[in-house]
Amino acid sequence: MFFEQLINGITLGSIYAIVALGYTLVFGVLDIINMAHGEIFMFGAFIGMLLISHFQVPIVVAFLGAILATAAMGYLLERLALRPIRRRGASHLASLISTIGISIMLENLAHHLFGAGNKPFPTSFGDIQFSLGNTTVYMVQIIILVISLVLMAGLSTWLQKAKAGKALRATAENLETASLLGINTRKIITSTVMVASTMGGIAGVLVGMAFNYINNQMGLPMGLKGLAIIIMGGMGNVNGAMAGGLILGLSETFIVAYGSSGYRDAIAFIAIIVILLIKPQGLFGQALPEAKR
């Protein structure tokens, strides 16, 4: 029982971490919270579901479809909703409000396109399971965990080693200085929003695989949990997002297994309050004496 719940918690936490990474990348570069991220995550799930249910494509193609669709959504979000506000020198609050507006629009659009209620998310390997002693492990859990770990490791390596990753970190450190050093900061910002959106799209497909259903209201709660995770781990900190996602996933799973499921969604926000009281900058964050820009 314990090991099964541990696997469930790690699987759920891995998905949470991927969602939180999308928030973290955008916040690190633009210093804003992208409140439309949850709805982009939801659209990624629906794109994957449509490809699997109506076109009977393999899960790999469903992932590719979700990646392309959410990358395009990220491009349009940055180009039409964030860049014009940034050009006018408006405050970060204006950008935040803009993403809230996009979030509401996308949720209503999803309701119009896909309808209300739960939609099945079929997978050919959903019932495949293995027994390790008294512990049952499902194939879908293994696939989700492997994809999540590869994605997190790949992102970390890209940020540390790749030229584009280093340019992103330089832009996040100081936008003006990066521009003076010859970095195309406009391109970096657009690429960052697109990469963050694809992370959301991948997480949406993973959630569909994990729970076998999706709905047009799944974006807001997942988005709020992603926000809770980056506050918990440290705003803009990639490692903090990964650790925070795993902590939240494990906490929720064990609360449901050994306590009451009614408190599951409250865990994230209780954790925020406790961590902000103990360490306001988050578990992995560093207190900054002044604004970066």
Instruction: Annotate the chain with three-state secondary structure.
Output: CHHHHHHHHHHHHHHHHHHHHHHHHHHHHHCCCCCCHHHHHHHHHHHHHHHHHHHCCCHHHHHHHHHHHHHHHHHHHHHHHHHHHHHCCCCHHHHHHHHHHHHHHHHHHHHHHHCCCCEECCCCCCCCEEEECCEEEEHHHHHHHHHHHHHHHHHHHHHHHCHHHHHHHHHHHCHHHHHHCCCCHHHHHHHHHHHHHHHHHHHHHHHHHHHCEECCCCHHHHHHHHHHHHHHHCCCCHHHHHHHHHHHHHHHHHHHHHCCHHHCCCHHHHHHHHHHHHCCCCCCCCCCCCCCC
pLDDT at site 287: 61
Between CA 17 and CA 199 the distance in angstroms is 10
Which phi and psi angles does 129 have, rounded to 5°? -140, 160
Per-residue pLDDT of the chain (293 residues; tens, 9 = 90+): 788 889 999 999 999 999 999 999 999 898 889 999 999 999 999 999 999 999 999 999 999 999 999 999 999 999 999 999 988 888 888 999 999 999 999 999 999 999 988 999 988 877 788 887 778 888 899 999 999 999 989 998 999 999 989 999 999 888 889 998 899 999 999 999 999 999 999 999 999 999 999 999 999 989 888 888 888 888 878 888 888 899 889 988 888 888 777 777 787 778 778 877 888 888 787 665 444 44
Between CA 249 and CA 36 the distance in angstroms is 22
User: Which residue do the tokens 């970066």 mark?
Assistant: 292
pLDDT at site 283: 79
Q: Cα(first)–Cα(last) distance of the chain, in Å?
A: 50
Q: Which two tokens stand for residue 156?
A: 């970390």
Query: pTM for this one?
Result: 0.91
Considering its fold, how many domains does the chain have in total?
1
Residue 285 maps to a domain: no
Between CA 218 and CA 42 the distance in angstroms is 6
pLDDT at site 293: 43
Domain assignment of residue 122, given as a range:
2-278
Residue 12 maps to a domain: yes
Alpha-carbon torsion (71, 77, 83, 89), positive or negative: negative
Residue 290 maps to a domain: no
Residue 213 maps to a domain: yes
Cα 276 from chain centroid (whole Å): 21
Residue 71 contacts by C-beta under 8 Å, 6 or more apart in sequence?
194, 195, 197, 198, 201
Residue 288 maps to a domain: no
Residue 293 maps to a domain: no
- Per-residue HEC secondary structure of 46-111 comes to HHHHHHHHHHCCCHHHHHHHHHHHHHHHHHHHHHHHHHHHHHCCCCHHHHHHHHHHHHHHHHHHHH
Residue 91 maps to a domain: yes
Q: Look up the CATH number of the domain holding residue 42.
A: 1.10.3470
Residue 284 maps to a domain: no
